[in-house]
Amino acid sequence: MGLLDKIRQTFGSQPASEVAKKRLELILKYDRAGLPPNAINAVKDAILEALKDFPFIDINGVNINISENGEEREKIEIEVPVKEK
Amino acid sequence: MADKVICVTSGKGGVGKSTVTANVATALAAKGYRVAAIDADIGLRNLDLVLGLENRIVYDIVHVVQGVIPAEKALVKDKRTKNLFLLPAAQTKDKSAVKPEDMVKIVEELRDKFDFIFIDSPAGIEEGFKTAVTPADTIIVVANPEMASIRDADRVTGICEAMGKPEPKLIVNRIDPKKVARGDMLDVNDVVEILSLELLGIVPEDPNMVSYINRGEPAVLFEESIAGKALRNVAERLLGKEVPFMDIRVEEGFLEKIKKLFGGS
Ligand SMILES: Nc1ncnc2c1ncn2[C@@H]1O[C@H](COP(=O)(O)OP(=O)(O)OP(=O)(O)O)[C@@H](O)[C@H]1O
Ligand SMILES: [Mg+2]
């Protein structure tokens, strides 16, 4: 590795350990829920597609998450806000 | 004692289950407790090597299951540490030769005669793992500070929970303080935070470990071994003592930082 790469690595990017931590936190979230890693995005796309024609729904505010309440069965929670009057 | 039947498991292979089992069992026996260590890795017998007992084996766990000999009679007496006994795994190809109910029966046979019974689990989350975990009232999960090992540790934790077992206790093995300081390796605190398990031990990478195992002499028997010290601490914690965790950080001086920047290590 050249000096320039060293400097770039030192100042530019995150340490590998931090990257590992972030990746693991995400991986475990899906592993624990028993979901494939891209499940949420796929569900979200399908939901948005289904909702897009309803004028009273605030499409930009739709929120999809894996619930993390430690319950026995994991849930995918979908929040669908109604547009402001 | 609540921590009497202890299963050491990990999901991922090669992270240090047998090393932890042999050393913690030895440390407790050296303190005068009667300890049995069961090698549940059927077909891949290894615990005997770490203890240096491979030449003393006559019977194995499959003989016990088949009713050839009672469990107590099949035990190999340790050559160094009084009060330590090994029930060797079989080298059979049939991994299902020992079923969960067989292991429960063996543990019941031994329970009254020992203060501690360790079960060295095979890697994986298959039948052999379940057989090892089933009789345990305490589970130790060993993990290396490394992506796949941590992920597997979490899987194993989930399966133990589904089996109705108490939450496993965590041993982080092979921490390399230099790599942690460089930001290359996850720190113990990160691992604990990610897995959210009770920490039972922090075992540093020990360059002499390979030589201890080559000689069949557990590291805990050597004052100078850092891993040995960490594993003796684990034994103390299992006895309910509050032992502070070793501080294994390296101080990174200004000079190190400059050197690192300019291509040294
Ligand atoms: N703290 C340590 N420092 C250095 N080397 C270690 C340490 N702990 C374990 N090792 C090495 O790691 C290797 C694997 O250890 P061990 O056999 O205990 O793992 P295991 O989890 O029982 O493996 P398996 O899944 O195959 O049963 C051994 O060669 C051992 O020397
Ligand atoms: Mg092993």
CATH architecture of structural domain B5-261: 3-Layer(aba) Sandwich (3.40)
The structural domains of chain B, with segments of one domain joined by +, span 5-261
Q: Which of B19, B38, B47, B146 to mutate to test the pocket of ligand 1 (most atoms within 8 A of CB)?
A: B19
Whole-number Å distance, alpha carbon A14 to ligand 2 midpoint, is 35
Residues 6 or more apart in contact with residue B8 via CB below 8 angstroms = B17, B20, B21, B24, B118, B119, B120, B121, B140, B142
Q: Which of B126, B203, B209, B217 to mutate to test the pocket of ligand 1 (most atoms within 8 A of CB)?
A: B209
Q: What is the pLDDT of residues B221-253, one digit of tens each?
A: 999 999 999 999 999 999 999 999 988 887 656
Distance CA A76, CA B38 (A): 43
Residue B255 has pLDDT above 60, yes or no: no
pLDDT score, position B51: 97
Residues 6 or more apart in contact with residue B66 via CB below 8 angstroms = none
Residue B265 has pLDDT above 80, yes or no: no
Residue B7, beta-bridge partner list: B119, B139
Distance CA B129, CA B133 (A): 6
Distance CA A24, CA A27 (A): 5
Average pLDDT value for residue range B78-85: 96
Q: Which pairing describes strands B84-87 and B76-77: parallel, antiparallel, or unpaired?
A: antiparallel
pLDDT score, position B143: 98
Q: Which residues of chain A register pLDDT less than 50? A: none
pLDDT score, position A33: 86
Query: Which residue numbers of B have CB closer than 8 Å to A's CBs?
Result: 147, 150-151, 154-155, 158, 180, 182-187, 190, 194, 260-263
Tokens standing for B144?
Answer: 């290396």
The structural domains of chain A, with segments of one domain joined by +, span 37-85
For chain B, give the mean pLDDT: 94
Q: What is the pLDDT of residues B177-215, one digit of tens each?
A: 999 999 999 999 999 999 999 999 999 999 999 999 999
Residue with tokens 């050491």: B8
In chain B, the residue whose alpha carbon lies closest to the alpha carbon of A22 is B194
